[in-house]
Structure 1
Amino acid sequence: MGIGSFFRNQLSQVIEWNNQQPDMLVWKFPSEKDEIKNASKLIISPGQGAILVYEGKVTDNLSTEGIYDLETDNHPFITTLLKLRTNFESEHKLKIWFYRTAENVNQGWGTAQMIKYMDPVYKIPVELGANGTFSFRISNPLYLFSNVVGAKDTFTILEARLLLQSRFPESLSAVLAQSGVSYQQIDAQLPVLSASIKAQLNAELDKLGFELTDFKLNGTIFDDATKERIGKVANITAEAMAAGEGGLTYVEMEKLKALRDAARNEGGLAGAGLQLGVGMDLGKTFNTAKDEHLNAQSTDVVSKLKQLKLLLDEGIITQEEFDNKKKEWLDKL
């Protein structure tokens, strides 16, 4: 060690986090042998805090900006001279970690795997991916330092973001399951879902020393299998509603269409029926079922006309049959 270096090491220091890197969340002040001298000055700038670890114990958490005087057992000019037996090194170690108190805003997030939940309306399993943005800050620096950062010299915003995002899917799945929001309603409920997810996540992230200051669910992506399943259910629902408008149940309408198709296909279902020994005249059966609906009595002429139109649209009756029955019912008005 040169004489110049010796004297420089014995002088008080000005300790600060200059040129704070935008991607850094926690940063240890570099000090040779961690022998920060008595009467050194610690500067806390806006958006910063500092944790002091003296002789292996956390002694201070400074979160208010300003200049602080440091008092240690490391006195200039005598420390190194008195420590020959420890290789000129003091056991009075003072280590300082700076941390960012400002918010970390507009962090993007997305689910790496599909989230599964049961759709409350369609009663089918749904799988979706989700994405959005969030902002966060350190809410409990001492807990974060002791349980997450540990003895690391640095802890980046990227590391924090990955840690936080790993908690998102479970909370998102739980909120979707509890909300009663269906596949078709999700886009309209994004703000409500975002607030619920944020509240649930903060209860979990508080255990890590973090707080979400903002959370947004911006969009969802459903897998092809889910779209196909819901498409089938939606088609059945639409057909059931149409049948209901015509005064028929979905089962009745499907039965009529099945009989119609079977009667038209002599080598198909009809042939299959004969091969099985059923001996059923499907054409006659279809006509009988059709006539039952055509001639069914009703006190509401308008409802009966709707039913006739439905049977025409579905190809159950012909245009001629529709016109004849329509005239018959209109004459009753």
Structure 2
Amino acid sequence: MGFFRNQFANVVEWEEFRDDMIFWKWSNREIKKGSKLIIRAGQDAIFVNNGKVEGIFKDEGSYNIESEIIPFLSTLKGFKFGFNSGMRVEVLFVNTKEFTVRWGTQNPILIPTPQLPGGMPIRANGTFNFKVSDYVSLIDNIAGMKGSYLVEDVKIRITSVLDQLLMKWISREGKDMFNLQANASEIAKGIREDLDMEMLGNGMTITGFQVMSFNYPQEIQDMITKTASHEMIGNLQKYQQVSMTDGIASGKVQGGGMASDMAGMMMGMTMANEMMKNMNMNMPQNQNPGQNPPQQHNQQHSQQPPAAPASEGGKRPNFCPNCGAKNEGANFCPNCGQKLN
């Protein structure tokens, strides 16, 4: 008798375990008298008979099926092994861990926006987390037709609806298209809730969804970067003046034309302002502005630069002698009001 028991004995265990495998089915074999069930850490063993869950075993270890498993099966607890017969039953091994999956949009998502009639092309990437939560739904909708199920299968299911959900939650409530990262947490929360409802029927729960970054076309990204640099300076006009002056200093702005004239005017104004500052610094500190002695008054007038004489034929000077602004033939400086003839 002992000879036949050893011959018919077998082991029920997860034979094809992979870390990215969600479940694996032990089936189409007969469990004989003396068989053992082996459950490893992170696994649950579910006994299924004719599509119905008979029992769920979660504690890791090695168990004698006849004495330690069958007595707990719902409708098979009275089963008796015969000399030549065994028990036909499926055992579904489920990976109980939480899976983390990276995702990324394969193609740009065209988000409707008034600025671009065709939509704003945006890519995104991040991660999502899920785990098996309902064995009955898992068996009814997936395990009943498949012998195993991989993380890649879930990823394909998720990414098939992800573009629509991204479009839905990015467009929701008129979010700033150029600053989506500020709303990433809110967008991710809405997508996680929708994905959870999508996967609920398959016996799985989406435990987390994260958006790591939003990516714009290079032209849009360059525009965002340039706009941010202007905002950091705070004064666009000043930024343009500084850029022009830097161009003169570096030799990038050369030749005639409007750019050169503007650069010359700004340099002239800068030089005139520096002259005025130096004059003010050279004035005696103890002098009362309200009382100017005649000799000091004359001395101050002598320190002021003489007005540039008009050229022959009554031609006005090209630059104001007071502030350096360029003159276009006017009698008075358009910048400081200095008379030019």
Q: What is the TM-score of this pair, normalised by structure 2?
A: 0.56
Is 2:207 the counterpart of 1:219? no
For residues 127 and 226 of structure 1, the distance between their equivalents in structure 2, rounded to whole angstroms, comes to 10
- 8 A contact 2:5–2:34 mirrored in 1: no
Give 1:60-79 correspondences, 5 Å limit: 60-63=55-58, 65=60, 67=63, 68-71=68-71, 72=76, 73=79, 75-79=81-85
Deviation at 1:134, TM superposition (A): 1.9
Is 2:52 the counterpart of 1:57? yes
Greater per-residue helix proportion: 1
Pick from 291, 311, 334: which aligns with 1:325?
A: 334
Pick from 93, 118, 127: which aligns with 1:98?
A: 93
Question: Cα gap change, 1:5/1:192 in structure 2, threshold over 3 Å: closer, same or farther?
Answer: farther
SS at match of 1:183: coil
Partner of 1:206: 200
Deviation at 1:4, TM superposition (A): 11
The structure, 1 or 2, with the larger RCO (C-alpha pairs under 8 Å, 6+ apart) is: 1
For residues 320 and 29 of structure 1, the distance between their equivalents in structure 2, rounded to whole angstroms, comes to 94
For residues 152 and 207 of structure 1, the distance between their equivalents in structure 2, rounded to whole angstroms, comes to 16
Partner of 2:30: 35
For residues 319 and 214 of structure 1, the distance between their equivalents in structure 2, rounded to whole angstroms, comes to 65
Partner of 2:153: 159
For residues 135 and 198 of structure 2, the distance between their equivalents in structure 1, rounded to whole angstroms, comes to 16
Deviation at 1:27, TM superposition (A): 0.8
Post-superposition Cα deviations, 1:152-185, rounded to whole Å, max 9, x if no partner, equal: 2221222222222223222111111114322221
Question: Cα gap change, 1:159/1:141 in structure 2, threshold over 3 Å: closer, same or farther?
Answer: same
In the alignment of these two chains, the number of paired residues is 232
Task: Report the AA paired with residue 320 of structure 1.
Answer: N
Is 2:57 the counterpart of 1:48? no
Question: Cα gap change, 1:4/1:193 in structure 2, threshold over 3 Å: closer, same or farther?
Answer: same
SS at match of 1:175: helix
Deviation at 1:135, TM superposition (A): 2.0
For residues 149 and 7 of structure 2, the distance between their equivalents in structure 1, rounded to whole angstroms, comes to 28
Task: Report the AA paired with residue 25 of structure 1.
Answer: I
- 8 A contact 1:17–1:29 mirrored in 2: yes
Q: Which runs of 5+ in 2 are unaligned?
A: 238-324
Deviation at 1:6, TM superposition (A): 6.2
Task: Report the AA paired with residue 47 of structure 1.
Answer: G
- 8 A contact 2:16–2:24 mirrored in 1: no
Give 1:105-116 correspondences, 5 Å limit: 105=100, 107-116=101-110
SS at match of 2:169: helix
- 8 A contact 1:38–1:70 mirrored in 2: no
- 8 A contact 2:5–2:33 mirrored in 1: no
- 8 A contact 1:38–1:75 mirrored in 2: yes
Q: Which runs of 5+ in 1 are unaligned?
A: 80-89, 244-317
Pick from 183, 189, 197: which aligns with 1:189?
A: 183
Deviation at 1:64, TM superposition (A): 5.0
Deviation at 1:38, TM superposition (A): 5.5
Partner of 1:135: 129
**Percent identity, aligned pairs only?**
25
- 8 A contact 1:39–1:70 mirrored in 2: no
Task: Report the AA paired with residue 213 of structure 1.
Answer: T
For residues 5 and 196 of structure 1, the distance between their equivalents in structure 2, rounded to whole angstroms, comes to 62
RMSD between aligned residues: 3.9
Task: Report the AA paired with residue 108 of structure 1.
Answer: R
Partner of 2:314: none
- 8 A contact 1:109–1:134 mirrored in 2: yes
For residues 56 and 208 of structure 1, the distance between their equivalents in structure 2, rounded to whole angstroms, comes to 15
- 8 A contact 1:41–1:69 mirrored in 2: no
Q: Which has the larger radius of gyration?
A: 2
